[in-house]
Structure 1
């Protein structure tokens, strides 16, 4: 009901009230006239007849006013109900907008964190690679020096064997060899050097994976090796996994896929950490990949506790989590699904309570290809 219509309705009621007042005034006037009449008046009293007529008219006016009020109340109720519905719609729209804003803010925060990690990784890589470089060089030199020393020791051993058995120098040399445990050192020192070299190579690999995981140019689309991204991300989160799960690799050959590598690595990280957290004591995480119907796919499967159907239906909702308060934000999978969607791909889930969960990511092999 419009404001103009409402005003007209109120105006009609006011006019009816005026007519009611006029009728009451006429009735009062006739009542006064009747009161001044003589007792010996004969025949029908005109005043009394007029009062009856005006009373009937007043009853009609009152009935008309009641009907008008009822109509006005119905219209007002309808208007108020419509306004309540409109306010409820506005509230829902605002709530949805607030949720989207909060989700966007968290995504931006994640992107800023990745950018910061990328910058930190570049600085850390530079700082670490310098000492790693000269330690690696020193180990190479040390290996060469140890080889020379062992050759010198072998020469002394040959000279020792040529001495008579009762020669004092031979007894002194044998005693020195026993104290120094030359045979043990000859076996152990090369192993220590190899392990040290392997450790340095591991450090270099971790630094390289960290740089790959959150690269400074994360906003750029490029052709990337998803298997390599999965492996480098696994290396980053290995500490979350190594005590709880054995990792099995069943990776197929993948062609380069057009994507934003750092964002896909973020998806891999979320799924790998979730897989580890789903395993309560010990289990297996299986990594698979391949191509199908013009898509590259990557699977991360765990033998954890799995999810019932009602949880699977909500698992990608923002802020939905089955973790205790303070243990999760409910944004990891939501952000992952959003990233994959922006890559024109999709995430599929297979899960059964007590039997584990498998997430499959599918990305188109050709730019512009639809899901």
Structure 2
């Protein structure tokens, strides 16, 4: 409230006059001029002024308060509506990102399909070959058993000579050793197929809602088996895993992060190179790194590698979404990805994740 004096009487003199009601010209916050009758009461070196607005101004102020309350109510409704719309947009965005993750996963599986088929066909091929050999061995065993049954009740030198001839024909010593070896090879081959299929199943669980206490080293090994056909002709893989505590995470998504980093490392290497896989823990954080001896990156490229659709690969060789999605998935876990690179020296991606998981896991 602004107090306006006419300037003819000094304020000190005006206040020092005998105690009586005084008139003040005031202008309220609404801009309405008023003459206010006040009483003055000294308080130490200061003065308190007491007075009331007239009924017109009180009514005007009440009307202003009602208008402001009405405007506030409208703004509250608009805010609630905007908030609901924002939640809907966020929900649609999460669904779109999940679909994008699924599409990227399917694109990766398509890229790996030929290599995985080769990795499965190799053991299946020699298991099939072993089964053919085992069929012949079983037939010879049956032939030998039949011979023993045929001469079981006969005695004499002729019988012994006939059985010896059958044994030499069958080569029982060789069969005894080779049957065990073929069964062992076949079992190993089938175990390789089972492991590849299990790793593919683990990798395909990208859209599973389950958060779990997971072994990141095992996740990296599982992913490495899935992409092995893409790596084994390009690089030597060196493993330097440290001991890690169980990390609360969505392992299917973290496996996809590992896959993107492994494939990028292989593609960055021209000719033959080396990929080093490391892991460790520092305080409340676990980390896993993928380091390659590839071409490396310039600072200008490093600034953009996590941008959607940015890629340095030839047309048709990449979507430019791999690292962008990996960055988003790690961020949702409350983690981060550190990158170091030197042109011509190689690149290292280091994924950091909180051991306890994000403070508020995404739905």
1:328 to 318, 322, 328: 318
1:296 maps to: 286
2:174 maps to: 184
2:99 maps to: 108
1:28-43 equivalences in 2 (<5 Å): none
Partner SS, residue 205 of structure 1: helix
Q: Where does the alignment leave 5 or more consecutive residues of structure 2 unmatched?
A: 1-91, 110-119
Compare the two structures and name the one with the higher helix fraction: 1
1:145-294 equivalences in 2 (<5 Å): 175-215=165-205, 218-294=208-284
The range that moved more, 175-184 or 317-326, is 175-184
- Partners of 1:336 and 1:104 lie apart in 2 by 17
Please, what TM-score do these two structures have when normalized by structure 2?
A: 0.56
Flag the structure with larger Rg: 1
Task: Check the 8 A contact 2:327/2:336 in 1, yes or no.
Answer: yes
- Partners of 2:301 and 2:98 lie apart in 1 by 23
Residues 341 and 193 of structure 1: CA distance in aligned 2, closer, same or farther (over 3 Å): same
Residues 263 and 279 of structure 1: CA distance in aligned 2, closer, same or farther (over 3 Å): same
Please, what TM-score do these two structures have when normalized by structure 1?
A: 0.55
Task: Check the 8 A contact 1:115/1:215 in 2, yes or no.
Answer: no
Residues 359 and 208 of structure 1: CA distance in aligned 2, closer, same or farther (over 3 Å): same
Task: Check the 8 A contact 1:107/1:335 in 2, yes or no.
Answer: no
Partner SS, residue 198 of structure 2: helix
1:332-347 equivalences in 2 (<5 Å): 332-347=322-337
Task: Check the 8 A contact 2:288/2:350 in 1, yes or no.
Answer: yes
Measured on the aligned residues, the alpha-carbon RMSD in Å equals 4.1
Compare the two structures and name the one with the higher strand fraction: 2
Q: Where does the alignment leave 5 or more consecutive residues of structure 1 unmatched?
A: 1-100, 119-127
Task: For residue 244 of structure 1, report the CA deviation from its aligned partner.
Answer: 1.7
- Partners of 2:219 and 2:172 lie apart in 1 by 46
Task: For residue 263 of structure 1, report the CA deviation from its aligned partner.
Answer: 0.8
- In the comparison of the two structures, how many residue pairs are matched? 242
Offset from partner CA, 1:107-153 (integer Å, 9 cap, x none):
523236759999xxxxxxxxx9xxx9xx9xxx9xx89x97xx69x89
1:27-106 equivalences in 2 (<5 Å): 105=96
Task: Check the 8 A contact 1:117/1:214 in 2, yes or no.
Answer: no
Partner SS, residue 237 of structure 1: helix
Offset from partner CA, 1:339-364 (integer Å, 9 cap, x none):
11111111011222222211100001
1:68 maps to: none
- Partners of 1:357 and 1:214 lie apart in 2 by 27
Task: Check the 8 A contact 2:306/2:323 in 1, yes or no.
Answer: yes
- Partners of 1:321 and 1:117 lie apart in 2 by 16
Task: Check the 8 A contact 2:294/2:347 in 1, yes or no.
Answer: yes
- Partners of 1:251 and 1:204 lie apart in 2 by 24
Task: For residue 106 of structure 1, report the CA deviation from its aligned partner.
Answer: 6.4
- Partners of 1:201 and 1:360 lie apart in 2 by 32
Task: For residue 186 of structure 1, report the CA deviation from its aligned partner.
Answer: 2.9
1:364 maps to: 354
The range that moved more, 170-179 or 361-370, is 170-179
Task: For residue 228 of structure 1, report the CA deviation from its aligned partner.
Answer: 1.3
- Partners of 2:288 and 2:180 lie apart in 1 by 41
Residues 296 and 189 of structure 1: CA distance in aligned 2, closer, same or farther (over 3 Å): same
Offset from partner CA, 1:250-270 (integer Å, 9 cap, x none):
111111111111111110110
Task: For residue 229 of structure 1, report the CA deviation from its aligned partner.
Answer: 1.2
- Partners of 1:219 and 1:341 lie apart in 2 by 17
Task: For residue 271 of structure 1, report the CA deviation from its aligned partner.
Answer: 0.5
2:341 to 351, 356, 360: 351
Structure 1: 4+ residue segments shifted above 6 A = 101-104, 115-118
